[in-house]
Amino acid sequence: MASSAALVKELRGKTGAGILDCQKALQENNNDIEKAIDHLRQKGLAAAQKKVGRETKEGLIFAYIHPGSKIGVMLEINCETDFVARNEEFSALSKDLTLQIAAANPNYVKREDVPEDIIAREKSVYEGQAKEMGKPEAAWDKIVQGKLEKFYQEQCLLEQAFVKDPNTSIKELLTQKISKLGENILVTRFTRYQLGQE
């Protein structure tokens, strides 16, 4: 089944995938745009996963000052080549990430960065809350794990919902960009400054 130029254009607009990939995805999914999007996402995710772990020695330091000059963010984001580091899409991603940090105020890049003593303290608090609520002891562990997941989603940049698209996490956004740009991308570190706060 041939896919029309209009469908290919629509699919490209929604996914950023190449023309041939869009044509193939539409053909394999009977010109169903939604199925073709899922197909491309699955392929992109698989391709992106292969790139994770590759060395990232290039990149940039990106700075953002929020309007009103009360919040500022500095971000180090790495990629594999200078070519991608100078790419407009990479710069746009860097800006989106600094906006995210300014708006959502994460404290860590990823869950593995959270110190063990902080996790232990949070677990202790959540267990105390479960006791206070009169929950049965058998349910405490599940309650603690659920609250810990919510803590990670609030405190870790990669776990947060993207402020521009709450249905997408920052980790998913990075995976999309890795797939599109063809290189591994890592958020190494960031600093968020807020006027009057240490």
For residue 136, is pLDDT > 90? Answer: no
Which domain range does residue 135 map to?
Answer: 115-154
Domain harbouring 29, CATH code: 1.10.8.10
For residue 53, is pLDDT > 80? Answer: no
Q: How do beta strands 186-194 and 165-169 pair?
A: unpaired
Q: Is the pTM of this model over 0.75?
A: no
For residue 1, is pLDDT > 50? Answer: no
135 plus 167 within the same structural domain: no
Domain harbouring 144, CATH code: 1.10.286
pLDDT band at 85 (very low <50, low <70, confident <90, very high): confident
124 plus 97 within the same structural domain: no
145 plus 177 within the same structural domain: no
Provide the pLDDT for residue 50: 53
Domain harbouring 74, CATH code: 3.30.479.20
First to last CA, the chain: 61
Half-sphere exposure of 100 (CA within 13 A, CB side): 34
Q: Which of 176, 119, 179, 115 is nearest to 147 (CA)?
A: 119
34 plus 127 within the same structural domain: no
97 plus 21 within the same structural domain: no
For residue 45, is pLDDT > 80? Answer: no
137 plus 67 within the same structural domain: no
63 plus 94 within the same structural domain: yes
What percentage of residues in the chain have a pLDDT greater than 70?
A: 87
Q: Looking at residues 153-158, what average pLDDT do you find?
A: 95
CB–CB of 4/19 below 8 Å? no
For residue 52, is pLDDT > 80? Answer: no
Q: How many angstroms separate the Cα of 135 from the Cα of each of 124, 125, 127, 139, 140?
A: 15, 14, 10, 7, 7
175 plus 134 within the same structural domain: no
98 plus 30 within the same structural domain: no
148 plus 85 within the same structural domain: no
Q: Is 181 helix (H, G, I), strand (E, B) or coil?
A: helix
Helix (H) / strand (E) element for 166: namely strand 165-169
68 plus 98 within the same structural domain: yes
62 plus 83 within the same structural domain: yes
Report how many domains make up the chain: 3
